[in-house]
Each structure stands twice: as structure tokens, then as C-alpha cells.
Chains A and B, each alone.
Chain A
Amino acid sequence: MNAMEKVAWTNLGVSAFAVVVVLAVTPWLGAGATGFFALLALIPLSALFLRQRGPRVIVDERDRDIDRKARDIAVGASWMLLLVGLVAATVWGSQTESHAVSTVLLNWLIWAQFATCFGVRGLAAIVLYRRPYAA
């Protein structure tokens, strides 16, 4: 497994862990549970895998291509999640008496979008590393 694959696994693992923790503590903390999305801040630590050790190449053209493709997929997926989520929240809010969208829901939606973006980026990269790929 090369350095960028480790970064991809970190992206996926940390994102999934953050979502699981938030869902697990929501019954006790309620809206405050979204604070645990701050676990996503651990993702930049994956840069440690990219430290230059010796003269060997750490990231090459294949890694960069796969990362670019995975990033495109992740941004597209999270953007769609945000749009669909906002539409759903608006429709749901319009059905309530106050005709208002809950700020708690919006907060959840925005954090879920970030988690989706990092998680899908990791997952897409892992899948691309295992499939035939052309530069």
C-alpha cells in the first residue's frame, strides 16, 4: 500500500468514525452531538504519510490522477447531498406550522456534507486503486 492509499483509508476511516460517534451520542447530547464532527480535523494528520523519507518518490502521476478523480467524485456527491438535503429540509419545513427550517437540521446537513465529501473521496480513491486505470 503506498502513501496515497493510506491517506485514502484515513479519509474514509475518520469520516466514518466521526459519523458513527455523532450518531451514537445524539440520543444524549441532542443537537450538541454535531460538535463531534470536529473529529474530521484529524484528517490533515494523514499528511504524515506523505513525508519525504529518502530519495524515493512518494506520490507519482498515478496517485495524482486517482486523487483528482476521487476529489471530483467526492465534491459532486457532497454537493448533490447538500442540494437534495436543502430541498428536503425546505419542503419539510414548509409543512410545519412555523414554515421554518430548523437551524439544527441545517447544522447537521452542513457537517454531514463535509463528512460525505471526505468519506467518498477516500472510498473512491480506494476503489480506483483496485481498478484498471489509465493516465
Chain B
Amino acid sequence: MPRKKEPSLENCVSELRAARSGMTQQQLADLVGVTRQTIVALEGGAYTPSLALALRIAKVFRKPTEQVFWLDEE
């Protein structure tokens, strides 16, 4: 039986960063306590963050978490 494909977690972190007067990946990484490489992977869709990290990122942009991260269920 074929396995059902897990929905991927999409995000708009890079757009939100750009909207915040060009906040750099390193600045965001420092604010949420991760490495720049993790922000790069997250923005590129190569990393699905933990719930705690998703909440911290949403808090930085003062947005509800579901406006920053959402499931792509197609």
C-alpha cells in the first residue's frame, strides 16, 4: 500500500524578513537563538523547525504562528 505523503510545512520567513527593513538571516538567527545555516535551511524548505523555534520566529515578526508557517497539504 503506498504511503500517504506527509504535508510539507511552508513559510514566509524570507518575505517577512525583507519587510522588516532588510533584516539579515544572521540577525534573525541571533534573535531566535539558532545558527544562520538553520535559517537558510528553513527558508529554503530544507528544514522543518521545532514548534518552539516556529513560535519564537512568529514572535519576532509579531504575527500569529499560522501566518508565518502553514501546511501545504496538496
Interface residues of A (CB under 8 A from B): 1-3, 5, 55-63, 131-135
Task: Kindly state whether residue B41 has any CB partner on chain A within 8 Å.
Answer: yes
Interface of B is mostly: mixed
**Residues on the B chain within 8 Å of A3, using CB:** 35
| In contact, A62 and B38 (Cβ under 8 angstroms) | yes
B51 → A minimal CB distance (Å): 8
**Residues on the A chain within 8 Å of B18, using CB:** none
| In contact, B35 and A134 (Cβ under 8 angstroms) | no
Which single member of A55, A60, A132 contacts B38 (CB below 8 Å)? A60
Q: For chain B, which range describes its interface: under 10, 10 to 19, 20 to 34, or 35 or more residues?
A: 10 to 19
Count of A-B contacts with CB under 8 A?
A: 52
17 contacts between A and B (CB under 8 A): A2-B35, A3-B35, A56-B29, A56-B35, A57-B35, A58-B35, A59-B35, A60-B34, A60-B38, A61-B49, A62-B38, A62-B47, A132-B45, A132-B48, A133-B41, A134-B9, A134-B48
Task: Kindly state whether residue B22 has any CB partner on chain A within 8 Å.
Answer: no
| In contact, B35 and A133 (Cβ under 8 angstroms) | no
**Cα distance A1–B36 when bound, in Å?**
10
| In contact, B37 and A2 (Cβ under 8 angstroms) | yes
Which single member of B9, B29, B41, B49 contacts A57 (CB below 8 Å)? B29
